[in-house]
Structure 1
Amino acid sequence: MLEQIDGQRSDIDFKIIENKDDLIVYCKKVAGTVGLMLAPMLKGEKADERYELICEDLGIAMQITNILRDIGEDLRNRNRIYIPQTVMEDYSITRKELEDISTLPTAKQKWNSFFQPNFKVSDKIVHLWEEMAGLSEYYYDEFYKHLYMFSSDALLPVTAAAVFYQAILDEVRNNNYNCFTQRCYTSTKRKGDLLKMVLSRVEEVKRKNFISY
């Protein structure tokens, strides 16, 4: 799709993301388009004119999750911040603050933290991160509301993909919001625990919409 290509180009010629609207446009191009490309294969009989937007919503949600997981990595490796500038300004957070906490610890610091974990971010960074996480979760919720639009064969894998990916946000929270010097991920054990919730949600959708095999 041309929009996906345009999104890849925008990553090559990166420009600062000014506000949330710009962020959503970026996420639509680089990830929402993936949902649109998969849409024909996942479509169910109850899909309506909103279906493609729902597929796009999941891509947006996942991309914002990526951004919140990789703040430090994006700064160190790509010299980029995907958090909108207006949001940073709202919390009086500067690029330098993010760069400082994204600096990888020395061997001595790692050794000391083994005995006494000490990674901590300021409350304003937590509040900024949570505001962006709320935006991501809004798009996940929109996706979950319309699971009935997917085919019975696609229902379980697409729901699991969304739930497992959204759980990365909780992993960051559980890691004292350290998305700056570590990469948080949903462990295999955690996925096993979440699978019960996935199966329950899928069965509920089937009951409400008379989906049967």
Structure 2
Amino acid sequence: MTARELDAAGITDPVLRDAYTRCRRLNARHGRTYFLATRLLPVERRPAVHALYGFARRADDIVDSLEADVPSDRRADDLARLDARLHARLRRAPREPGGAEPVVLALADTARRYAIDHRHFSDFMTSMRDDLKVTDYPTYDDLRAYMHGSAAVIGLQMLPVLGTVVPREEAAPHAAALGVAFQLTNFLRDVGEDLDRGRVYLPADLLAAHGVDRELLYRSRATGRRDPRITEALRAFEDLTRGVYREAEPGIAMLDPVSRPCVRTAFVLYGGILDAVAADGYAVLHRRAVVPRRRRAAVALDGLARLAAARVRRRFRPPVVPAPVAPGVVTGRSPHEEVM
């Protein structure tokens, strides 16, 4: 299936094909929910999504390494090298690829093909650097500032790949909100794992409103004992997250019809993680909540049905603003991009 995707996308250079293939493997291995949804995209658009995921995963792996022999200054150096390599590659005119790591090659090629604003990559790397030194967030506003680079821009990067039936700036706030909703979901699911890394992404003021602080979280994690104050704080964070999903949902109808099943599937599956957390009694400090396979399969089948219907309709009514596919280099701000 990889060769079919690459052929459909017009990616012929062997080095680039290998780079995209590696990104796809990263997506399949580490982003199961994301990968499942991506399978519902038109075949020619999937490599671009794999490239976006692969680069983000590479940066995350540098930042989140739990290996004791990788000090923070080494991680900072590794992240700086990745950033420098990306921006060096983004500045180059399209040519025979080589001399860069695969995730960088694939991402830079995707950025050219879909005219993705380079600011989104810069903002993403800024948030990755913050993760090396910031371990908690006093307020939700502070957390949202961080998530602009770590999550909102992911939605903005995706928009040119997905395509829209409205001007892109109209869909952009909803795409950014969806990226934030997905990350908030991960924060809730991964509270315990993040605590092991010394990070607390739940805002301190939200925790304090329920009598919770970092020390109580550590104690509960270490002893395995539940605390009703923590449960209430986690429930409040879930409510906050569902509000962001409501901000994002209107944007799905603004997408190219053949992209909507993919995004709708991701929307439902990630929302299902919230359902799983609640059904498990908010025990995320002690175990990870998962969406049952039966539920994932049902959502995927629904997505396939929606995709088939969209393809039939597309024969008679193409989207007003199709996703760009011609190669091009972005050197400044795009008039259709909007940041939070």
Output the CA distance in 1 between the equivalents of 2:191 and 2:299.
25
Q: Secondary structure at the match of 2:169?
A: coil
Q: Which moved more, 1:149-158 or 1:179-188?
A: 179-188
Larger RCO: 1 or 2 (CA < 8 Å, sep 6+): 1
Aligned with 1:49: secondary structure?
Answer: helix
Q: Does residue 1:51 correspond to 2:171, yes or no? A: yes
If the length of structure 2 is used for normalisation, what is the TM-score? 0.52
Listed one character per residue, the Cα deviations across residues 132-187 of structure 1 (whole Å, up to 9, x for unaligned) are 11221112122212211111121001110111011111111111211012111223
Q: Pick the aligned partner of 2:133 from 13, 38, 42.
A: 13
Instruction: For 1:156, give the aligned amino acid.
Output: P
Change (3 A) 1:189 1:46: same
One of 84, 106, 126 as aligned partner of 2:231: 126
Q: Which residue of 1 aligns with 2:278?
A: 173
Q: CA deviation at 1:71?
A: 0.9
Give the percent of matched residue pairs that are identical in Structure 1 and Structure 2.
Answer: 25
104 and 93 in structure 1: CA distance in 2 versus 1, 3 angstrom threshold: closer
For residues 254 and 128 of structure 2, the distance between their equivalents in structure 1, rounded to whole angstroms, comes to 29
CA separation in 2, counterparts of 1:144 and 1:196? 20
- The residue number in structure 2 matching 1:155 is 260
Distance (Å, rounded) in 1 between the aligned partners of 2:154 and 2:251: 18
Matches of 2:252 and 2:157, distance apart in 1: 17
Which residue does 2:122 correspond to in 1?
2
The structure with the largest alpha-carbon Rg is 2
Matches within 5 A, 1:178-193: 178-193=283-298
1:80 aligns with 2:199: yes
Instruction: Note if contact 1:4-1:33 (Cα within 8 Å) is conserved in structure 2.
Output: yes
The 3 A distance-change label for structure 1 pair 197 and 22 is farther
- Give 1:63's match in structure 2, choosing from 183, 187, 193: 183
- The alpha-carbon deviation at position 194 of structure 1 amounts to 3.5
Listed one character per residue, the Cα deviations across residues 74-128 of structure 1 (whole Å, up to 9, x for unaligned) are: 112x1111111111111111212111221276xxxxxxxxxxxxx6431x22221
Partner of 2:220: 101
Count of paired positions: 192
| Aligned counterparts, 1:136-155, within 5 A | 136-155=241-260
Assess, with a 3 A threshold, how the Cα gap between structure 1 residues 104 and 150 changes in structure 2: closer, same or farther. Answer: farther
Q: For 2:136, what is the secondary structure of its paired residue?
A: coil
Partner of 1:111: none
Q: How many angstroms apart in 1 are the aligned matches of 2:239 and 2:304?
A: 24
| Aligned partners of 2:235 and 2:282 also within 8 Å | no
CA gap 1:47/1:185 in 2 versus in 1, 3 angstroms: farther
Tell me, what secondary structure is at the counterpart of 2:297? Answer: helix
Give 1:26 shift: 1.4
SS at match of 2:222: coil
SS of aligned partner of 2:131:
helix
* Deviation for aligned residue 1:34: 1.1
1:33 equivalent to 2:153? Answer yes
State the distance in 1 between where 2:247 and 2:302 align.
18
Distance in 1, matches of 2:170 and 2:142, equals 22
Letter in 2 for 1:95: R
Q: Residues 102 and 30 of structure 1: is their aligned pair in 2 closer, same or farther, counting only changes over 3 Å?
A: same
Counterparts in 2 of 1:27 and 1:191: CA distance versus 1, 3 Å: same
Q: TM-score, normalised by structure 1?
A: 0.81
Cα RMSD over matched residues? 2.3
Residue 25 of structure 1: CA displacement?
Answer: 1.4
Distance 1:187 1:121 in 2: 26
**SS of the counterpart of 1:83?**
coil
